[in-house]
Amino acid sequence: MTFELTKEFIEDIERKIEARDNDSLVAILGDLYPPDIASILYELDGEDAYVLFQLIPEIDEAAEVLSSIDSDDRSKFVREHFTVEKIARYVNLFDSDDAVDLLNDQKIEVREQVIALLPDREQARFIIDLMHYPEDVAGGLMQKELVKVWLSQTVSECIEEIRNQLDEVDKVYAVYVVDDENVLKGIVSLKQLLLARKNTKIENLYNEDIVFVETTRSGDEVADLMQRYDLEALPVVNTLGRLMGRITIDDVLDFVTEQAEEDMQAVTGISGEADEDDTVWEIAKTRLPWLVVGVLGSLMAATVIKGFEETLIKITALAMFIPIMGSTGGNVGIQTSSLIVQSLAERSGISLSLGERLFKVLKVALLNGLVIGILTGFYVYAIGEPTLFWVIGLSLLAVVLLASFMGTVTPIVLDKFGINPAVASGPFITTANDLIGIGTYFLIANALLNI
Q: Distance of alpha carbon 82 from its chain centroid, rounded?
A: 29
Cα separation of 339 and 161, whole Å? 50
Cα separation of 176 and 56, whole Å? 36
Q: Distance of alpha carbon 204 from its chain centroid, rounded?
A: 42
Cα separation of 405 and 332, whole Å? 10
Q: Where in the chain is the domain with CATH 1.25.60.10?
A: 7-134
Residues 6+ apart with CB under 8 A from 369: 396, 397, 398, 399, 400, 401
Tell how strand 175-178 and strand 184-188 pair up.
antiparallel
Summarize pLDDT for 181-222 with one digit per residue, the tens.
Answer: 999 999 998 888 889 999 999 999 999 999 999 999 999 899
**Is the domain defined by 7-134 classed in CATH 1.25.60.10?**
yes
Percentage of the residues of the chain whose pLDDT score is greater than 90: 39
The band of 317, judged by pLDDT with boundaries at 50, 70 and 90, is: confident
* Angle between helices 322-346 and 427-449 in degrees, nearest 10: 140
Cα separation of 151 and 160, whole Å? 14
The architecture in CATH of the region 147-256 reads: Roll (3.10)
CA distances from 378 to 187, 315, 374, 393, 446 (A): 68, 19, 6, 9, 20
Task: Flag whether pLDDT at 288 surpasses 70.
Answer: yes
pTM exceeding the 0.85 threshold for the entire prediction: no
Summarize pLDDT for 339-377 with one digit per residue, the tens.
Answer: 887 777 665 545 567 678 788 888 898 999 899 888 888
State the greatest distance between any 2 C-alpha atoms of the chain, in Å, as a whole number: 97
Q: What is the CATH number of domain 280-449?
A: 1.10.357.20
Q: Where in the chain is the domain with CATH 3.10.580.10?
A: 147-256
